[in-house]
Amino acid sequence: MWTENMGDSTERSAGPVTGRARPALLVAIAVLALACAAVFTVGAPVGTASDPVNVLVVAGGDRTGRGSDDRLRPGWIHRLPADASGPDVQLAQDNGGGGNPGGTAAAPGNSGTVVTFPLPAALAVLGSILLALVTAAIVARRRTARWFALVGRGFRALGEPVRRRRLVAARQSLGLRFAADADSVRRAYDTIGEVAATADHAERPVYAVRVDRAGTTVWLSASDHLIAPWQSLDRTRWRRASTAAAGWGGRSTADQAHRVRAEQAAACLVRAGADADGEPVFVDLSRLDGVLSVTGDQAVTRDVVRNLLSEIAQVRPNLPVTLFEVAGGVPLPIPSGLAPVPRVPVPVPAGGHHANGPVRGAAARRPVRGLVVVTGTPDEREAAELMVLCGPGGAGWTGLVCGPVGGGAHWRWHTGGDGNVDIPVLGMTLTVPA
């Protein structure tokens, strides 16, 4: 049911025609009726019905066997007395005279009334119909607009399940492609090793890596820079073509090799999803400083965490994982490549978790040595336990939370119903494998 604000408006949604619009509609109907009446009264009978009369049709010489009288011509119709008889006498309708000198009658068998419709009258009726339709559309424009909007929403609603199935199928295909693609993983680790070899004594963190056939893109801090052949795309992104030789700087080979090994050992590169071009984007979970909070659409959030667990199982096999199954959370199976650890109650300091949580302190690298997976939004006690395990000065584990954690997470991702995840810290939106 549609409703409108009543107020001072004279339009009401209870009836099909408003008070102001009713006279206009009545005028349109009257015009249409008059035009139709004019057309159907136009035309005149070509003959009027009357009692039949006796007539004689003058035959040609081919029927009489002789030429006709000069005063008679074949085809003439002569009216005969009422008592006339004979084989050539026929009945006909009198048409009022005219036709031949001997008196006239309609030809035998031609009688009745013919009604004609002049072209101007027909055009007038067509114009009147169009006028009535336009008037009715103007009168009912709001209802018509609402009706079309309702129909449009109906068609969109019918097409929504099809669209969602198509999106899920594409995301499932993406997941299969990731599982079979080992080359992009190798190239991502080679890239962070290359960047580490070009750094001086200070650390040069790589937060994310995108690899494709044409080259490689890395996300750095805004204060960092790279030497040729790397080219700056913006304040945080640098790119090198796949055909360009790696730039190693001026350090010794031993120094470079040490930096490469150390960086690759500490990093935990996982594909968070694919960008708009379908290319995989890796993030380094050792850079999230303890806890990742994923919020938004519950089903897609679950897919994000499941994908991260599968990726970690490839690069960190047998990594210990403990599961916090909270009320209202989503079920999360642990991949076979990881080592589940039973949840053990953790002593919580008085006053809850440390006030200077990761979001308030400076972000620091945290090698991924173990995972705490929370299936939903943790309560106060669970959040405190999470900080003991994953927070500053804690056990050094990494937390993956399907929900908000207040001020306890440096990285916060947000998912949408179309299977996307926004990563604000990197300024990107990715498609999540399903």
Identify the weakest region by mean pLDDT among 210-224, 251-265, 418-432: 251-265
- Does 341 reside within a domain? yes
Tell me: do 55 and 87 sit in the same domain.
yes
pLDDT at 4 over 80: no
d(CA 207, CA 283): 6
Tell me: do 185 and 223 sit in the same domain.
yes
- pLDDT tier, 127 (very low <50, low <70, confident <90, very high otherwise): confident
More confident: 295 or 161: 295
Tell me: do 188 and 255 sit in the same domain.
yes
pLDDT, mean of residues 42-53: 56
Tell me: do 220 and 321 sit in the same domain.
no
Give the per-residue pLDDT at 133: 75
Give the per-residue pLDDT at 10: 40
pLDDT at 63 over 90: no
d(CA 46, CA 114): 6
Give Cα separations from 126 to 33, 121, 123, 167, 394 (angstroms): 12, 9, 5, 50, 85
What percent of the chain clears pLDDT 70, i.e. is strictly above it? 71
More confident: 118 or 359: 118
- Does 356 reside within a domain? yes
d(CA 104, CA 325): 110
More confident: 416 or 161: 416
Q: Residue 101 contacts by C-beta under 8 Å, 6 or more apart in sequence? A: 76
pLDDT at 399 over 70: yes
Q: pLDDT, tens digit, for every residue of 155-192?
A: 666 767 888 888 889 999 999 999 999 999 999 999 99
Tell me: do 224 and 261 sit in the same domain.
yes
Give the per-residue pLDDT at 236: 92
More confident: 122 or 418: 418
Domains held by the chain: number: 4
Give the per-residue pLDDT at 49: 52
- pLDDT tier, 91 (very low <50, low <70, confident <90, very high otherwise): confident
pLDDT at 282 over 90: yes
Domain boundary among 267, 297, 315: 267
Q: Residue 50 contacts by C-beta under 8 Å, 6 or more apart in sequence? A: 93, 94
Domain boundary among 59, 90, 108: 108
Which H or E run contains 429?
Answer: strand 428-431
- pLDDT tier, 30 (very low <50, low <70, confident <90, very high otherwise): low
Q: Hey, what are 358's tokens? A: 């990761």
Q: Hey, what are 269's tokens? A: 């590169």
pLDDT at 335 over 90: yes
pLDDT at 99 over 90: no
Q: Is the dihedral of CA 419, 424, 425, 426 positive or negative?
A: positive
Give the per-residue pLDDT at 131: 78
Tell me: do 315 and 424 sit in the same domain.
yes
- pLDDT tier, 110 (very low <50, low <70, confident <90, very high otherwise): very low
Give the per-residue pLDDT at 16: 43
Tell me: do 307 and 209 sit in the same domain.
no
Q: pLDDT, tens digit, for every residue of 218-259?
A: 999 888 889 889 999 999 999 999 887 666 555 567 878 888
d(CA 184, CA 427): 22
More confident: 337 or 149: 337
Gyration radius from the chain CA atoms: 46
d(CA 212, CA 191): 12
Q: What integer best gives the mean pLDDT of the chain?
A: 78
pLDDT at 108 over 70: no
Give the per-residue pLDDT at 41: 54
Tell me: do 36 and 98 sit in the same domain.
no
- Does 175 reside within a domain? no
Give the per-residue pLDDT at 164: 82
pLDDT at 42 over 70: no
- Does 200 reside within a domain? yes
- Does 32 reside within a domain? yes
- Does 282 reside within a domain? no
- Does 324 reside within a domain? yes
Domain boundary among 215, 237, 267: 267
Domain that holds residue 127: 21-43+117-139
Strands 371-374 and 320-324: parallel
Ranges 36-50, 134-148, 285-299, 405-419, most confident: 285-299
Give the per-residue pLDDT at 135: 74
pLDDT, mean of residues 7-11: 41
Q: Of 53, 42, 43, whose CA–CA distance to 96 is shortest? A: 53
Tell me: do 434 and 294 sit in the same domain.
yes
Q: Hey, what are 209's tokens? A: 């890596």
Is residue 314 within 8 A of residue 406, CB to CB? The reply is no
Give the per-residue pLDDT at 34: 59
Tell me: do 38 and 52 sit in the same domain.
no
Helices 119-139, 21-41: crossing angle, 10 deg rounding: 160
Is residue 43 within 8 A of residue 91, CB to CB? The reply is no
- pLDDT tier, 204 (very low <50, low <70, confident <90, very high otherwise): confident
- Does 158 reside within a domain? no
Q: Hey, what are 123's tokens? A: 């055009």
pLDDT, mean of residues 90-99: 65
Give the per-residue pLDDT at 253: 76
Between CA 390 and CA 398, with CA 396 as vertex, the angle to 5 degrees is: 50
Tell me: do 429 and 297 sit in the same domain.
yes
Tell me: do 75 and 131 sit in the same domain.
no
Give the per-residue pLDDT at 7: 42
